[in-house]
Amino acid sequence: MSDVVNGRLEGRIALVTGASRGIGRAVAKRYAQEGAQLLLMARTVGALEEIDDEIRSEGGKNPILIPHDLKNMDGLDQLGASLYDRYGKLDILVGNAGSLGPLSPIGHIKPKIWQETFDINVTANYRLIRSLDPLLKKSDAGRAIFVTTGSTAKAYWSLYKASKAALNTLVQSYACEIEKTNVKANLISPGPIRTTMREKAFPGEDPMKLRAPEEITDTFVDLASADCALNGQYIDLRQN
């Protein structure tokens, strides 16, 4: 894969969740460079305005900012109708937003926190698929990409791993359902990346030894492109 920016997403409408920092921010900026019309979703207005300024200053199309907390499920249901009224379709969905949750013994995890983490990592993505699937099917080449991780069991990681395992099954089931349509759905497991979530999970780690989010955006462009033929794939970007 090449890191050459060549307008592969010119004119495509792309919604990115968790777009204000980390991988979502890097993907959003790369998509802008590739010519996409961006719809950027994140909780914090100020952070969205910062990336908006960066994209505009670099000559990208003016993004549409969507301040939204993924725990507001009704808002996700309304999103599809709103986008349909404005654009009539959606070409690309990047479900990037996620929650690490506490790294602790299972018995120490409070039920409310368990539910909130599953709401963000799994249920919100289900609601996005439910709301936006009709719009993706209106595209000549709808593409859905979800950020995940490996589901191998690991002590103290039960909540995050279980929620991502559920996400993997959800997305791959969706991929089976859309097999005969113009829509493709795939999963990306980035591996160790220099993000706030990674720092929270491994506070003693030297972040400068990790790849920056910008270094993995090629794969997001490949999977978002109209010529991508992959569907239902789990793509592991961990370095060997």
Q: Retrieve residue 28's tokens.
A: 């959003």
CATH class held by domain 13-236: alpha beta
The pLDDT score that the predictor gives to residue 2 is 39
Q: In the prediction, which pLDDT does 239 show?
A: 64
Per residue, the 3-state secondary structure of 107-146, as one string, reads HHCCHHHHHHHHHHHHHHHHHHHHHHHHHHHHCCCCEEEE
CB 186 within 8 A of CB 236: no
Q: Please state, for a pLDDT cut of 90, what percent of the chain lies above it.
A: 84
- Please identify which of the residues 31, 126, 160, 174 carries the catalytic annotation: 160
Query: How does pLDDT run across 39-52, given as a tens digit for each residue?
Result: 999 999 999 999 99
Tell me if 195 sits within 8 A of 207, measured CB to CB: no
Contact between 235 and 187 (Cβ < 8 Å): yes
160 is catalytic: yes
Which residue type, as a one-letter code, is found at position 3? D
Q: What is the pTM of this model?
A: 0.94
Query: How large is the average pLDDT for residues 172-188?
Result: 98
pLDDT average, residue stretch 44-63: 93
Whether the per-residue pLDDT at 61 is higher than 90: the answer is no
Q: Mean pLDDT, to the nearest integer, of 34-62?
A: 94
Predicted pLDDT at 43 = 93
User: Considering the chain, what percentage of its residues have pLDDT values greater than 70?
Assistant: 97
pLDDT confidence of residue 195: 81
Q: Would you give the distance in Å from CA 15 to the centre of its chain?
A: 9
C-alpha 235/C-alpha 233 separation (Å) is 6
